Amino acid sequence: MATGRTHRPATRSRGIPEATVARLPLYLRALTALSERSVPTVSSEELATAAGVNSAKLRKDFSYLGSYGTRGVGYDVEYLVYQISRELGLTQDWPVVIVGIGNLGAALANYGGFASRGFRVAALIDADPAMAGKLVAGIAVQHTDELEKIIDDNGVSIGVIATPAGAAQQVCDRLVAAGITSILNFAPTVLSVPEGVDVRKVDLSIELQILAFHEQRKAGEEATPPERETAGTGEPGVATTPKPSAAASHRPAAGGSGGTGGHSGDGNRQGPDGDVPAVMPA
């Protein structure tokens, strides 16, 4: 298989939006699951539900790939798997180096999903001399002094940074200087890179903070009763007494005299609403 240095995916040159590119792996994951169950075709609605997007957006995304499906039949699952894999560059080998072999780096090295998607962990690198030579996921850890040589020897173009935040920028600079053009950053810091270098950031603590925000919001909604609208105001929490109408304020008491006119209500001279007018006509 070709290495990542000699073949670059052409997604940007074909004008595929970044938002669409970000959704392609979601479609591929859903399609792979269907393929493993030997499902031959899938409708846009079914695939959209499995990928967590709406069907109109899915059809728009697939139009960038030149795939429109067949009315009444849907999309060919195997062909879409191939088409998206090709667009993402997964039909070739991508050697990857992981720098920083602490708990997170070791977990990444042991993750089996990389190899199944075309990402071969070519080397594990750490600054701690005590780590050199130790086997992690069957790969011997090498010291950072050898970083540039490792990248050149393996034709690596993708680097994974799993170091502490304080060391991440220096590692990033060395990776870029050695020819790395794509970086997956797990360090809790923002990296500065030159134009032409792509960085994807994964910060688990930020994701947890966002979830905490939503949990707090849900808890607050459950604890706070809905505001009650007080009659006569249209506003919550303001108690008022409805004001009587102008006509009602001038009505005579039952059996008594009227206001200014001094006439008693005889039942024959009523206003349009059946009420005794405030001033009876002469």
CATH number, domain with residue 69:
1.10.10.10
Amino acid letter, residue 151? I
Identify whether 142 is part of a domain: yes
> Which residues fall within 8 angstroms of residue 197, CB to CB, at 6 or more apart?
176, 180, 181, 182, 183
Same domain assignment for residues 148 and 61:
no
Which two structure tokens, joined as six digits, stand for 240? 């008022």
Same domain assignment for residues 190 and 102:
yes
Identify whether 248 is part of a domain: no
Same domain assignment for residues 98 and 188:
yes
Q: Does pLDDT of 221 surpass 70?
A: yes
Same domain assignment for residues 124 and 204:
yes
Identify whether 136 is part of a domain: yes
Average pLDDT value for residue range 247-260:
47
Identify whether 219 is part of a domain: no
The total number of structural domains that make up the chain: 2
Identify whether 151 is part of a domain: yes
Same domain assignment for residues 120 and 51:
no
Q: Does pLDDT of 97 surpass 50?
A: yes
- Kindly report which listed range (151-155, 186-190, 249-253, 256-260) carries the lowest average pLDDT score: 256-260
What are the backbone dihedrals phi and psi of residue 201, each rounded to the nearest 5 degrees, phi first? -105, 135
Q: Whose CA is closest to 265, among 250, 280, 249?
A: 280
The rounded distance, in Å, linking the Cα atoms of 277 and 281 is 9
Q: pLDDT band at 229, cuts 50/70/90?
A: low
The rounded distance, in Å, linking the Cα atoms of 115 and 7 is 18
Strands of the chain (E only): list them. Answer: 41-42, 75-76, 94-99, 119-126, 135-136, 139-143, 158-161, 182-185, 198-201
Identify whether 150 is part of a domain: yes
Same domain assignment for residues 83 and 108:
no
Same domain assignment for residues 98 and 117:
yes
Q: Could you read off the pLDDT of 47-96 as tens digits, one per residue? A: 999 999 999 999 999 999 887 778 878 999 999 999 999 999 888 889 99
Q: pLDDT band at 234, cuts 50/70/90?
A: low
Same domain assignment for residues 81 and 115:
no
Q: Could you read off the pLDDT of 112-144 as tens digits, one per residue? A: 888 888 899 999 999 999 999 999 999 999 999
> With pLDDT > 90 as the criterion, what percentage of the chain qualifies?
62
- Predicted local distance difference test score (pLDDT) of residue 71: 81
Its domain, for residue 70, covers: 18-87
Identify whether 267 is part of a domain: no
Q: Does pLDDT of 230 surpass 80?
A: no
Same domain assignment for residues 63 and 99:
no
Identify whether 149 is part of a domain: yes
Q: Does pLDDT of 189 surpass 80?
A: yes
- Predicted local distance difference test score (pLDDT) of residue 267: 44
